[in-house]
Amino acid sequence: MARRDRLTVNDVHGAWAIIPTPAVDNAEDWRCEDSIDYDEVARAVNGLIEGGVDAVLAQGTFGEGATITWEEKKKMMEVMVETARGRKPIFVGVTTLNTRDTIKQLKHARDIGADGTMLGLPMWQVCDVPNAVRFYRDVAEAVPEMAICVYANPEAFKFQFPTPFWAGVAEIPQVITCKYIHIGQLSVHTAVTKKRIRFLPIEFDHLDAARIDPEFHTAFWSPCANGGPEMTVRIRDTVRDAIKTGDWSAAQRVWAAAAPVIGHLMPPGGFAEFSRYNIQLDKARINASGWMKAGPCRPPYLTAPANYLEGAVKAGKGWAELCAKVRAGEL
C-alpha cells in the first residue's frame, strides 16, 4: 500500500484514539500461539474512524506491546493499515529493548503503509538524556519516512522526560507529537520545542491544555474512545467550538460529566499504583463498556486487586452511559 508523505506537526489535531490488542478467549494461557482477535482489530479501527476520531494508535502499554509476539504484532499492523485504507493516520508500536529491533519493526511498518509509530524508550537500563535523545535520532535516521510520537510514560520507561530531553528531540524532524501524561510543564515543554512537537495530553486534560494556548493545543490522546467514540468526539468538538466562540460553558459541562466517571479507574496511590496494573484495569474497563471486546490479558500480567477491578468496571459502564447520552442529544 502506498503511504502518504511523512506527517508533520501540522497534521496532528483532534482526538487520537488508542486501542488495546484484542485477545482470543484463551489468550491468558501461555500455550496460546496466536492470541489476537484480528476481526475485532478491524472492527475497532473501522468503528473508531467512522465514529469520528482523527488518528488511531496501538501496541503501547495497555495495547500489550510487550506481551505479543513479533509475528502477532506484524499481522495486527497489517490489519490496521488495510482497514484504515488511508482514511486516518495509523501509528503502531515498535518499542523494544534495543535500537536495532525497533528499527527492524519500524521498517516493516513503513513497508506496509503505516504512518508512524508511538515509540517508547528501551527500559532494561535507565536512559540518561543524551542516550534517550540519541535513541530517537537513530531511529529517525534509519527510517526517515516515518513520523514519531514519543511515548512519554515515566512509569513504563523509567525516565522522567525532562525539559532538556524535549529540547533535544525537537531537533529531529520526524518527532512531531507525544503521548503526554501530565500538563504541569506543558507550557515549558512547548516553549523549548519551539512548537515543533504537538503534545497530546490525555482527553481529560484537553480542556485545560486548550485554555493555555487555544491556537496550538488542539489535540489529545484518548484511552476511552475504545469504550465508545461518541464521548471522545464530543469532548473534542465542544473544546473546538469554545476556541472559536470564546464560550467554554459547553466544554466545561462535558468535562464535568466525564471526570467522575473516569475517576473510578484510578486506584488509591494515583498514577504510580495504576501503572502496576494498567493492562488489567484498562481491559476490564473496555470489556465493561461493551463497545469493544478487548478479551483477557496475556501472561504474565493477568491479575489485579478485586477492588481496583471493580473501579475499572464502573468506569467502563459509566463511559458507555455517557456515550448513550451523547447519542440521545442529552450531553
What would the grid cell of residue 258 be?
466525564
State how far the Cα of 61 lies from the Cα of 325, in Å rounded to an integer: 30
Q: SS3 letters for 207-237?
A: HHHHHHCCCCCCEEEECCHHHCHHHHHHHHH
Distance of CA 160 to the CA centre of its chain: 18
C-alpha cell belonging to residue 303: 491479575
Catalytic amino acids? 179
Instruction: Name the residue among 114, 50, 53 with its Cα closest to residue 86.
Output: 114
19: which strand partners?
Answer: 58
Which one-letter amino acid corresponds to residue 149? C
SS3 content of the chain, % helix, strand, coil (to 5): 50, 10, 40
For the four alpha carbons of 284, 287, 288 and 289, in that order, the dihedral sign comes to positive
Name the phi and psi angles at 198, rounded to 5.
-95, 110
